[in-house]
Structure 1
Amino acid sequence: MVGKKSKQALFREEGKYVDRINSKNHYVEFLKRDDQVLALRQQQDERFNARNKAAVDIDRARAQAAQEGLQFTEPDPDFDDDMAMDDVDMENYGSKTIVINVGSQNMRLGLATDALPKTVPMVIAKKAARSETEDSEPQPKRIKLDAHVPSEEWFGEEFAKEYNAMSQEFRTYRRTNKRRVLPNSRELVTKWNSSTPPERIPEHSDPLRIDWTELPTNAAKAPDYFIGSAALRIPEKSKPRYHLHWPMRHGWLNEKDYDNHNALERDFFLILEESIKTELGLTNKREWNQYSCVFIIPDLYEKVFVAKVLDEFIRDFGFQRVCFIQESLAATFGAGYGAACIVDMGAQKTSVSCIEDGMVIEESRVNLKYGGYDVTETFVKMMLFDRLNYSDLNLMRRHDFLLAEELKQGFTTMSDENITVQAYDYHLRASGQETRKYTFKIYDEGMLAPLGYFRPTIFDHSEKLVGRHKLIPRSVDLYNAHPNDPLSPAQMAVIAYVNQAIPSAVMPALAKTVRLTPMVSTPIKQQQQRPLGIPAHLNGEQDATPLSSPAASPPQEENGTPHPTGEDAAGDENAGDKGAQPDTEVMDRTVPIMPLEQAILTSIHHGSGNDERRRREFMGSIMLIGGASKTPNLGPYLEMKLRAAMPQYPKEILVSSPPRELDPAVLVWKGGSVFGKLRMTNDSWIGALEYDRLGSRILNYKCMWHW
């Protein structure tokens, strides 16, 4: 028996079948209006309540004035969006706002009303069986360390070749500048240093002796940890022993020196918590729910880290509300600039970004993994290479680390005007030992070490990526599992440059063959002519495929925008629209470094696009900030290098320091304090209620940039 056919089957047979669709209107409004989003609805409610409160206050004041027979002048209840909230409703808003800027070597924090922040070393000393000096090999690393091995061989053949090449180029540079050059300058330095012993001074006769951190005689009563400067002043052979830990390295959480992520995060937040208590005097943690916090993050941040900070600040620290601001944007707030190219030179990280109209241009962001500490380490290596009479100098020792930082600040410069063989002295002060006064000579070491900013191959990059993502996973997209941390075309240009030009900064590949697949953050554009004067490597005119790949890659576009190749493009139908993701293995094993002047030009090129007006504007407003930027004459030297690279802009290029004699080391923090007092930041604040309901998803609605 044949079954009964459905109407659809009959319609198909007759060729009359059409897809039956409900005739009702399927238009929906889900999350298409502001009042449907919790974060935006709450902002509207707060504004509505503020207006109601202001209206009630005005009515009350009017009634009281009428009762007393006084004339009443109605105030304006609305405030200018850019007005600092210094005194509203008899309350100083900045006095309840904490601003925190965390660096790899130092943290700066304070209240928004403070003129200057407190500076705290980002280090914690914890009880341990052995100190970090006893557990680690000396720094800088000596490849060959023996009484019979000359100092020229301590750091390997590559360093010796690079150092001698830089020294020879420096001689040529001085002759070009009509400076006097002695042929035996290096020999004069090494002969003096190797034959001059130190002078010993009893500790009680040293007027500048160091006050070391005191420990109780009973070791059992010693504190479990110290933070900041107190940690650096603990004697090396203390009882009990203490081990120093640096939770931040190269702008990332320091996964290399930790065994589990809980200990790493606990140390990081413990330093923040204790610093707030000791430096700001907020010892009662129960009162922190009355305070807000502005936390400054890098331009190229890691989402997992930012989400963890938000969670800790809301749940454990108990702050009333939290907001985030990017470093370069904070710098423009502090300097009062509307558009600029910000070059932030820290201890272990240098970032470059272009800012326009109060926003970081995403395509321009560059994050380089070198800074002032690399100069310190290289300066020490150069002096030891030239037989410094304190040959046992070890940066893992606390007093040697402080001495090396002092020597760098005192003797490094970017001016060759006074570079001659000169004698200087320094004092080595160690706990429980006599003070030793060393007289030593240097020649060109003081300028060649900071020249590493423009020749980063002289720096040691061998361990900067060790342990990367060993403990803390990369943030990935929930739908396609692609990494979704921010990445810019300018940063990808740096990665491609390293893979081609600096093989020593590319860590060994894994067993499988990998291929660099750059990401695009914008749709692929039509071919455009390379702007006049832009060097080829800044414009993407290079083969981004390492030699390990047997397949030839398609030619790059003239505008320098990286785009997917091969199976990456074929595997995603929309690759040209949303961009392919970079090969994470290649990213994780490439140290992003580039000569500083080239990094700045790369950032400006990608930030300005093909707009000549914007390019000239950024080139004329390059601002050097950060502690490492205080190297004498660094700004004029950088300006000279930029003009040599871009001769078609002889007058437009200008490198300046922060205005109004602001300290470049604290400018970012200062901008955060200004940002925290502006009414416009109300849209960026994240409260406990919003976070409890939405979690880290709230950042999509609250960040001033594309999260």
Structure 2
Amino acid sequence: MVGKKSGKALRDEGLERTDNNMDLSSWPQVPAINQKNYYTDYLKRDDQYLAFRLANEEARTKMTKSAKDRDRALAMAKTNEAAEAETEADGDANMEDEEEEEVETEAVGSKVIVIHIGSQNLRIGLSSDALPKTVPMVIARKSKTSESEDREEPKPKRQKREDGTLEEPEQLFGSEWSSHFNKMSADLKVHMRQNKRRMLPNSKEMVVNFNRRTVPETISEHNDPMRIEWTELSNPPPEYIVGHPALRVPDSSKPRYKLYWPIQNGHCNESDYASKRMLFLDISLILEDAIKNQLGLTSKKDWPQYSCVFVIPDLYEKSYVTQVLDMLMREFAFARVCFIQESLAATFGAGFTSACVVDIGAQKTSICCVEEGMCLENSRVNLKMGGRDVTETFTKMMLHDHFPYAEINLVAGQDTQKHTFKAFDEVHLAPMGFFEPTIFENSAKLHRRRQLIERSVDIYDGQNNDPTSAAQSEILTALAPPLPKTNGDSQSTPADVQATPSKPQPSAALGRVQDQEATPRSSVAGSPGPETTSTPQAGGAGTPAVSAPTTQPSHPAVEERDDILAVYSLDTAILTSIAHAARSDEKKMRDFIGGIMIVGGGSLTSGFHLFLEERLQSLRPGFAKEIMIGVPPRDLDPQVVVWKGASIFGKLSGTNDSWIGQLEYDRLGARLMAYKCMWAY
């Protein structure tokens, strides 16, 4: 056994230890985690989220302030009054506290701005106002030419002969459109005969002959009580004009102005803008002008004292919501901002807890079933048609029947012309386009879609994270055939191809009848595939037909394609939405189908509710007695129901946890939406 060597021997051999027994690094050594006992509570408690912590701190601050005020009132009462009057002092203090709370409630309502942006109009006002201010959602900017000079031909688009002259009125919009119009007219005659309504056999000929012979009457300016006040430009002329004055700028003005509509068909107007920055700049300019001129808040220094409730669509785009949130917090510097969906706001305004809301706007129709204060995600439907399509179709029908004023263009600086004309079935057939939407002009609604604003994607997996709906996906699947597959991969059609069938097929969910004794099916994750049979099966009087979505695999590529235009028959779309909301539950089916509420300016057509009710009853005879179309109560204007509901939502300061403050937004940005929204953002 070799003995231990001495230090001298080790030094002679060069093996002596020369360090000072210190660690190789001054950094603390972290031992490896024992995976068997690994546990963490990170982001598992509400008090770890900044949004919840700030809300709790605010609640504690209010409670502390209330307690201090109460103690101060009691102390003053005991000091100033005798001991036998303590009871009266307490009562007076309590009354003062209640009065202070009422004053605070009124102050909150008067410090909340409610904004509802539409394709045609902006509705804005304070939460304490009874009705909003309505402003056209348009801005006129300086340009080398006006929009009338940029167009090669007037709207609606008309066909010409080879020599450049216009076709005859009967062929002005093509033979296919004329045949469709004549078919709708013949169907209306059959419908009127079935309902015992008399009709003259030569009514159409009488209208055409009268319109051909009529001669306009010229009215001088001083005899015209309804003359239009055109916008007079200041010196120097402004860079832009907003709202009603923008619509009254003459086409021959110096300098020229061109109209821009930032929102079209329910989404950002990418067709008329060259950059995303200019699009949202125009939105901010329109909102700024409305706040200053309509609400009287001319100084931007006062805006940080106000909160804002902003109404967004049910099927919103996250990129749009994120940009609007940044605009309201950064540019406008509001103290707090919260968002509410259109259908939920409509139920707030009407005072309903559950309903199937059908909002017919100027260029968009949204359908959504609301239950107990929540929008049912799979029932949301967004159709790209509205009241403006009805107006344009009515114009085409009148021109088809020799309308005397063929130009349909108001010109400044000329005497007014008074035209006398007759109309027959055009006033009935134009709104029926909601049920036969191929009569509408749909060719330009997808022009340059997704050219400026890309889809929102998840930061982790890069997938589209915009909200989806099984009802919307089913409608898109019905409008376009399944994508062709090559080697297992789907190939999408070119983006400029618009897939809209000549006649919409009935929804697949409407044709499926759920057996009453069968096991209920599970929830659907995507849209069900189209079935071979397209005829809806109506249940008998004894056994009502209950539509139920199935668990078939969906077509995810349909949701990602932007070449499919969501233009679908309104009655079938409503039943599709209700079918996905009820999910085989007959009671829910009866509740929603008996609680359909129509709102929006497009619903003001006389007799529209009764006709829609009749169409739904023909599709679902088993529910004929339950089907009911309602209107907003208390004689409330259907155009402002959504704004009214949002204003009520803005007054719920004590129970509303959706407010986003400046401190939260500075630290977390748009990520706060996941914690602040009442729905799954």
Category of TM-score, reference length = shorter chain: 0.7 to 0.9
Match of 1:665? 639
Does structure 2 conserve the Cα–Cα contact (< 8 Å) formed by 1:151 and 1:385?
Answer: yes
In structure 2, C-alpha distance between the alignment counterparts of 1:661 and 1:558, rounded to whole Å: 35
Deviation for aligned residue 1:89 = 3.9
Match of 1:17? none
Match of 2:70? 58
Deviation for aligned residue 1:331 = 0.6
> Which is bigger in relative contact order (C-alpha 8 A, separation at least 6)?
1
Deviation for aligned residue 1:317 = 0.3
Please point out which of 247, 267, 273 is paired with 1:252. Answer: 267
In structure 2, C-alpha distance between the alignment counterparts of 1:368 and 1:245, rounded to whole Å: 22
- Are 2:154 and 1:138 equivalent residues in the alignment? yes
Alignment of 1:514-533 (within 5 A): 530=514
Deviation per CA, 1:351-371: give whole Å up to 9, x if none: 010011110011100001000
The structure with the larger Rg is 2
Q: 1:434 to 1:514 in 2, by over 3 A?
A: closer
Deviation per CA, 1:205-243: give whole Å up to 9, x if none: 111212221223x5xx01111111111111221122111
Match of 1:568? none
**229-238 or 273-282, which deviates more:** 229-238
Residue identity matched to 2:49: V
In structure 1, C-alpha distance between the alignment counterparts of 2:430 and 2:438, rounded to whole Å: 11
Deviation for aligned residue 1:88 = 4.6
Does structure 2 conserve the Cα–Cα contact (< 8 Å) formed by 1:514 and 1:583?
Answer: no
- Are 2:618 and 1:628 equivalent residues in the alignment? no
Match of 1:684? 658
Deviation per CA, 1:147-170: give whole Å up to 9, x if none: 462112221122112111101111
In structure 1, C-alpha distance between the alignment counterparts of 2:101 and 2:184, rounded to whole Å: 53
In structure 1, C-alpha distance between the alignment counterparts of 2:249 and 2:608, rounded to whole Å: 34
In structure 2, C-alpha distance between the alignment counterparts of 1:258 and 1:641, rounded to whole Å: 40
Match of 1:31? 43
Please point out which of 536, 559, 563 is paired with 2:549. Answer: 559
Alignment of 1:61-460 (within 5 A): 61-69=73-81, 70-71=85-86, 72-73=89-90, 87-89=102-104, 92-136=107-151, 137-144=153-160, 147=165, 149-216=167-234, 218=235, 221-393=236-408, 397=409, 399=410, 430-460=411-441
In structure 2, C-alpha distance between the alignment counterparts of 1:336 and 1:238, rounded to whole Å: 48
Does structure 2 conserve the Cα–Cα contact (< 8 Å) formed by 1:203 and 1:435?
Answer: yes
Residue identity matched to 2:239: D
Does structure 2 conserve the Cα–Cα contact (< 8 Å) formed by 1:86 and 1:677?
Answer: no
Q: What's the TM-score, normalizing by structure 1?
A: 0.80
In structure 1, C-alpha distance between the alignment counterparts of 2:200 and 2:222, rounded to whole Å: 42
Alignment of 1:541-690 (within 5 A): 542-543=530-531, 559-561=549-551, 563-564=553-554, 581-583=556-558, 586=561, 588-690=562-664
Q: 1:365 to 1:114 in 2, by over 3 A?
A: same
Deviation for aligned residue 1:493 = 1.2
Q: 1:277 to 1:456 in 2, by over 3 A?
A: same
Q: 1:347 to 1:50 in 2, by over 3 A?
A: same
Name the SS for the 2:636 alignment partner.
coil
Name the SS for the 1:294 alignment partner.
strand
Residue identity matched to 2:190: T
Aligned residues: 596
In structure 1, C-alpha distance between the alignment counterparts of 2:133 and 2:498, rounded to whole Å: 46
Q: 1:112 to 1:236 in 2, by over 3 A?
A: same
Residue identity matched to 2:155: Q
Deviation per CA, 1:577-631: give whole Å up to 9, x if none: xxxx434553x00111211111110111000111111111111111110011111
- Are 2:57 and 1:45 equivalent residues in the alignment? yes
Does structure 1 conserve the Cα–Cα contact (< 8 Å) formed by 2:497 and 2:563?
Answer: no
Q: 1:692 to 1:26 in 2, by over 3 A?
A: same
Residue identity matched to 2:34: N
Match of 2:456? 475
Residue identity matched to 1:274: D
Deviation per CA, 1:464-503: give whole Å up to 9, x if none: 11111100111011222221111100001110121259xx
Deviation for aligned residue 1:192 = 1.6
Does structure 2 conserve the Cα–Cα contact (< 8 Å) formed by 1:348 and 1:372?
Answer: yes
Deviation per CA, 1:386-406: give whole Å up to 9, x if none: 11111112xxx5x4xxxxxxx
Deviation for aligned residue 1:300 = 0.3
In structure 1, C-alpha distance between the alignment counterparts of 2:412 and 2:593, rounded to whole Å: 50
In structure 1, C-alpha distance between the alignment counterparts of 2:495 and 2:267, rounded to whole Å: 26
Deviation for aligned residue 1:74 = 7.2
Deviation for aligned residue 1:183 = 2.8
Instruction: Point out where structure 2 has 5 or more consecutive residues left out of the alignment.
Output: 1-31, 483-491, 501-511, 517-526, 533-546
Q: 1:680 to 1:153 in 2, by over 3 A?
A: farther
Pairwise CA RMSD: 2.7
Deviation per CA, 1:299-342: give whole Å up to 9, x if none: 00000000111111001100000000000000111111000000
In structure 2, C-alpha distance between the alignment counterparts of 1:476 and 1:515, rounded to whole Å: 25
Name the SS for the 1:87 alignment partner.
helix
In structure 2, C-alpha distance between the alignment counterparts of 1:264 and 1:435, rounded to whole Å: 36
Does structure 1 conserve the Cα–Cα contact (< 8 Å) formed by 2:112 and 2:306?
Answer: yes
Q: 1:28 to 1:656 in 2, by over 3 A?
A: same
Q: 1:176 to 1:76 in 2, by over 3 A?
A: farther
In structure 1, C-alpha distance between the alignment counterparts of 2:298 and 2:497, rounded to whole Å: 55
Name the SS for the 1:244 alignment partner.
strand
Does structure 1 conserve the Cα–Cα contact (< 8 Å) formed by 2:590 and 2:626?
Answer: yes
Does structure 2 conserve the Cα–Cα contact (< 8 Å) formed by 1:361 and 1:607?
Answer: yes
In structure 2, C-alpha distance between the alignment counterparts of 1:512 and 1:248, rounded to whole Å: 21
- Are 2:467 and 1:493 equivalent residues in the alignment? no
Residue identity matched to 1:667: V
Q: 1:478 to 1:515 in 2, by over 3 A?
A: farther
Does structure 1 conserve the Cα–Cα contact (< 8 Å) formed by 2:477 and 2:558?
Answer: no
In structure 2, C-alpha distance between the alignment counterparts of 1:636 and 1:531, rounded to whole Å: 31
Q: What's the TM-score, normalizing by structure 2?
A: 0.83
Does structure 2 conserve the Cα–Cα contact (< 8 Å) formed by 1:193 and 1:388?
Answer: yes
In structure 2, C-alpha distance between the alignment counterparts of 1:24 and 1:654, rounded to whole Å: 61
Does structure 1 conserve the Cα–Cα contact (< 8 Å) formed by 2:598 and 2:630?
Answer: yes
Q: 1:158 to 1:480 in 2, by over 3 A?
A: farther
